Amino acid sequence: MMGSDASILWLFFGFRGRINRKAFLLGGLAMVVVTMFVLYRVSIAQELARGLDFWSTILAVVVFVSLWCQAALAAKRLHDMDQPGFWAVSMFVPILNFFAFIALCILKGTPGENRFGPTTNLPN
């Protein structure tokens, strides 16, 4: 829930509460930046022929954590639209991932409190 106990950990790892479009977009973009940085480091390690095992392991961890974070962000965004977070599984289907991300960035949440809690304090 978004309140005085809101934190980065809650944003990326929690499945309860609601987030608005702005928080969802920024969180999603942060995950892309981290993943792209690690991919860049893997490509450099490949060219230099050293450190590839290390960066490949880091990439595997980042991809797993990123999937979790995407699901948590999507579930809270769906809660903002008064929908069950179960539909966040669409973020795991490659062709649906992009369209689901765009839809969750565009569609407005329900105004005021809903069954998943009060609106976030962040501006849309």
Both structure tokens of 97: 């991932």
Which residues constitute the domain of residue 61? 14-106
Count how many domains the chain has. 1
Tell whether 121 is covered by a domain. Answer: no
* Residue 26 lies inside a defined structural domain of this protein: yes
Residue 111 lies in a domain: no
Residue 83 located in a structural domain: yes
> Which residue stretches of the chain have pLDDT < 50?
1-4, 123-124
pLDDT in the model for residue 6? 61
Is there a domain that residue 4 lies in? no
- Residue 113, domain member (yes or no): no
Q: Is residue 2 part of a domain?
A: no
